[in-house]
Chains A and B, each alone.
Chain A
Amino acid sequence: MSGPVFTPEVNFSRDMRPISLVLALVLAGLAAAALFETGILLWEGAGYWVERSRTLKQADELGAELATLLSQHRDEPDPVAIRSLRQRIASLNALDYAGAPSPVRVFSTLEQLMPPSVALQNLDYDRGRSALELVAFSESSDELTAFFDLANRNTFFPSVRLVDKKQAGTTATGAPVYQVRLSIRFGGEPRS
């Protein structure tokens, strides 16, 4: 009688199919994740590209605006003149600062003390020293001396110091013109 002899299937090699299946699934998962991440990166990249284009456009607009502003800046006046004007404005403002004398009262007092032949040339208030620098001129040296004397005795001016007195030129007729420079300190007493 012939027929099949049952042959047992024997394999001493380890069956790698379960591990292979797990590995294949893991690799497939990783590949899918990588594909998904690539898609996200591409999508974000497109967004970044739009943003970059917009930023470049804004930069171009700002550049044009800056060029316009620079061209306008060239039309401004001389900065030295502006600085001098600002200094003079600051000097005047300083007269109305806390501790400084009222300009109205200063001019009112000077109007009373100055003889008719004496003219006021310049007033400058130094806020750091609380001192008023006064320059006046006259054709009469005696009148200038009298003015200094009256100012020195006036109670509105606490301390008057003669800085210098000199001839500062001549008139059209050749008569000498004298100039006196006074420094009036107010002592920092706040103005009411």
Chain B
Amino acid sequence: MRRASCLLRISAGQVQGVWEGASRSGSQRLEAAADFSTSENAPTLRDAVDAVLAAILPPRRLTSPFVCVTLEGSLIMAAILPFAKLPKAQEDRRLVISQRFCREHRLEAGKVEVVGSPLHSPKSASPKTESSRILCLAVERDVLRQIESALGGRGLYADIITPEYLQKLGQINGGELEKPGISLFEGNGFRTILVWDGEGAIAHIATVRRPARQDPEGQRRMATRIRRYAQIVSRQDAPVALYIERRGAGDISKDLASSRGLKLLAWPGERPNPRKGAAK
């Protein structure tokens, strides 16, 4: 029996919500979206989340649903930092990572929530390199507070608040991705570029503003950036896989289609566009 779930996707200026009822109640599916802004008199993030929840939540709930909140890359600051040694205690480790991240990015420690995660699987880790490279992700505490406040107002608690690109990566990661590789995740005006090396470890994460279609110079710079990432993680002459979501394929594929060392692929689970299919 499937549990009811509430999925919220928060991007720059917009909240999208999906409610999927429990299997016993007919798996009712409801969707809603609301905009928010930081300008004065505009709905805040909390207002938008609350409006979406008001639209999709059923009036009566018997059980607590699974609540998953994904944040678009533009809401998250990411960095891969090397650490020579980290404390064993989890809280101490968290504190050290947070202090280092805030110091290097000139952030106030109390204003951001920093989460650090080793960039290798526990199986492949060797004792010497353990904890050497840490993926640090930070979100403004005010953003988290507004999300939790809106959820709490509706009697909900977020089981997961995670970056959208990591959630997508985790969902399809069943050995289908080629290594090394690059994936482009399209957001609301932003594009997140996730790069992994031949070992399957994340090598770089960057979220940049997506250039407009009528901006050839911006498109060229974007293509150059992706080629540079490919050169960094490529091994010998093996091409680097470039996974492109369907909605971003039109912008990027024509600039990179002729690039050597890149193999354009559709994001797993998405059927390639029959007219603008990915090409090598």
Contact = CB atoms under 8 A, between A and B. Distances in A.
Interface stretch (B97-105, B152-160, B212-220, B245-253): B152-160
Contacts of B163: 10
A3 interface: yes
B272 interface: no
A8 B144 contact: no
Interface string B80-122: 0000000000000000000000000000000001010111110
Given A11-B160, A12-B115, A5 B166 contact: no
Contacts of A10: 115, 117, 135, 137, 162-163, 166
Contact of B173 (A7, A12, A13, A16): A7
A4 interface: yes
Contacts of A3: 175, 177, 179, 200
A2 interface: yes
A7 B169 contact: yes
Chief secondary structure at chain B's binding surface: mixed
A24 to B, nearest CB: 14
B103 to A, nearest CB: 20
Interface in B172-219: 173-179, 181, 196, 198, 200-202
Contact of A11 (B148, B162, B179, B202): B162
Contacts of A9: 117, 170
A4 B137 contact: no
B157 to A, nearest CB: 7
B117 A8 contact: yes
Contacts of A16: 157
B118 A8 contact: yes
Given A1-B179, A16-B157, A6 B121 contact: yes
Contacts of B69: 13
17 contacts: A3-B177, A3-B200, A4-B177, A5-B181, A5-B196, A6-B121, A6-B200, A6-B201, A6-B202, A7-B170, A8-B118, A9-B117, A10-B166, A12-B137, A13-B69, A13-B158, A13-B161
A16 B121 CA distance: 25
Contacts of A7: 166, 169-170, 173
Contact of B139 (A4, A6, A12): A12
